[in-house]
Structure formats: C-alpha cells, structure tokens
C-alpha cells in the first residue's frame, strides 16, 4: 500500500514542479528552494512515506544534533510558546499533542478557491512560522494538504499536494532547511468535520504543518 502511495506522490510532485512560484503567483518551474528545488523536498517526502529515516539521518549527518531526555519536551515547549505568540490573531491554530505541534492553516485564508498559489497577504504569517523554524532547527516538518469532498477524488488529491508543496516551498525559500520537510496530500480522506455543511467543508479545507522533535 505504501509503495502505491509513493508512486502516486512522486508523480504528483514532478508535475507540481511546474505550477506555482509562491512569491509572485506566476505559473512556472519553482525555484524557491534553490538549486535542488522540488526534487529535494519530494525526496524527503518519499523517504518519509517509505518509512525510512532519511530525514533524520540527513539532518544528524549535517551536524544538527538530535534531542534526548528532558531536552525534547523543553525544546518543543519553546517552539510552542513562540509559535503561539507569533500566530495570535492570524487565523492559524496551534495544537500540542505530546511532543508534536500542529499548525492548522485554513485554506480559505491561505489560498484562493481551487488555486495552489499562497495568497500574498498570507506571506507574513508564513514568515513568522519560518522565523521559529529557523530558530529551533531540531525538528522535522511535515506539511499535509487536505480538501473537502467537493469535486473528484483525483482533483482533490492533486490540489491538496500542490497546496502543501506551495507552503513547504515558501518556507524553504525563507531559509528553512529543505531536508527537514516531508510533503503529503490526503485529498478529502481525512475530514475533521462533516462535509454536509458549508462550515464543515471550510474546516476540512486546510494545510497542516506538524513539527516533531529530531530524536
């Protein structure tokens, strides 16, 4: 099952390399993550989906020390506190689950309808996230895209991936180490509310950023 997901994800990432420049909104090959570009983030994502330790090994090999013992909770506490301070009043929620932190970014404030270009007015919010990510480097960053149930399965799957990748690309463009990222689109398969109402569908259209300690 994971191999099937891997193949579909790889294909979608290659296609999405020609979609969006999050700085200008132009449709072109993305260069926001530097020379390695889409391939590096896609490679990190594939390593994660395969169940490997690619990101962990790459980061530790690059000299970023792993967290252990009480340093894990303390580091994530500082991450959480700074993210809550930076994101207050932005519409992005911060949730703590054990030693993981999840940022929920509703698509209605992040993207135009059916588009994968990050809205220019949302750049300052992502800049704030990038500041914290760059300050605390001992975390991995999973970016998850989700849609509501409107539209076809493949369209929703592709859109969720492109949106998640746009967010990851923007953050990488702000200096966040691209080796920390994994990007996954779930389409409509992980709703958090009922798709029977407009309010529920709005909650389901989201991009989530999950921070996990490097251990």
Question: Domains of the chain: which residue ranges?
Answer: 2-213
| pLDDT at position 144 over 70 | yes
CA separation for the pair 61, 124 (Å, rounded): 32
| pLDDT at position 178 over 80 | yes
Mean of the per-residue pLDDT values of the chain? 82
> Which one, of 104, 61, 74, 95, lies nearest residue 203 by Cα?
104
| pLDDT at position 210 over 60 | yes
State the average pLDDT over residues 32-58.
Answer: 50
| pLDDT at position 36 over 70 | no
| pLDDT at position 23 over 90 | no
Here the tokens at position 26 are: 């132009």
What pLDDT does 95 receive? 98
Q: How confident is the model at residue 54 (pLDDT cuts 50, 70, 90)?
A: confident
| Range in 2-6, 24-28, 164-168 with the lowest mean pLDDT | 2-6
64 versus 46: the higher-pLDDT residue is 64
State the average pLDDT over residues 113-139.
Answer: 97
What pLDDT does 40 receive? 44
What pLDDT does 53 receive? 79
State the average pLDDT over residues 41-64.
Answer: 66
State the average pLDDT over residues 171-191.
Answer: 97
Alpha-carbon distances of 182 from 45, 158, 196, rounded to whole Å:
4, 16, 31
| pLDDT at position 149 over 50 | yes
pTM tops 0.75, yes or no: yes
State the average pLDDT over residues 180-192.
Answer: 97
Question: Which CATH number applies to 2-213?
Answer: 3.30.1330.60
What pLDDT does 179 receive? 95
> Which one, of 214, 112, 96, lies nearest residue 159 by Cα?
112
């Amino acid at each position: 099952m994971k191999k099937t997901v891997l193949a579909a994800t790889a294909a979608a990432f290659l296609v999405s390399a020609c979609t969006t420049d999050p700085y200008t909104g132009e449709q072109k090959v993305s260069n926001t993550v530097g020379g390695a570009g889409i391939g590096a983030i896609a490679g990190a994502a594939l390593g994660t989906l395969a169940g490997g330790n690619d990101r962990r090994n790459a980061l530790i090999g690059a000299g970023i020390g792993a967290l252990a013992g009480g340093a894990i909770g303390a580091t994530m506490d500082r991450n959480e506190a700074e993210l809550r301070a930076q994101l207050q009043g932005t519409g992005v929620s911060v949730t703590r689950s054990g030693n993981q932190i999840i940022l929920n970014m509703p698509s209605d404030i992040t993207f135009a309808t059916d588009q994968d270009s990050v809205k220019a007015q949302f750049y300052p919010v992502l800049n704030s996230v990038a500041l914290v990510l760059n300050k605390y480097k001992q975390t991995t960053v999973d970016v998850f895209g989700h849609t509501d149930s409107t539209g076809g399965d493949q369209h929703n799957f592709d859109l969720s991936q492109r949106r998640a990748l746009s967010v990851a690309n923007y953050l990488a463009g702000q200096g966040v180490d691209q080796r920390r990222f994994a990007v996954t689109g779930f389409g409509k398969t992980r709703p958090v509310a009922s798709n029977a109402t407009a309010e529920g569908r709005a909650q389901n259209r989201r991009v989530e950023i999950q921070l996990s300690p490097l251990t």
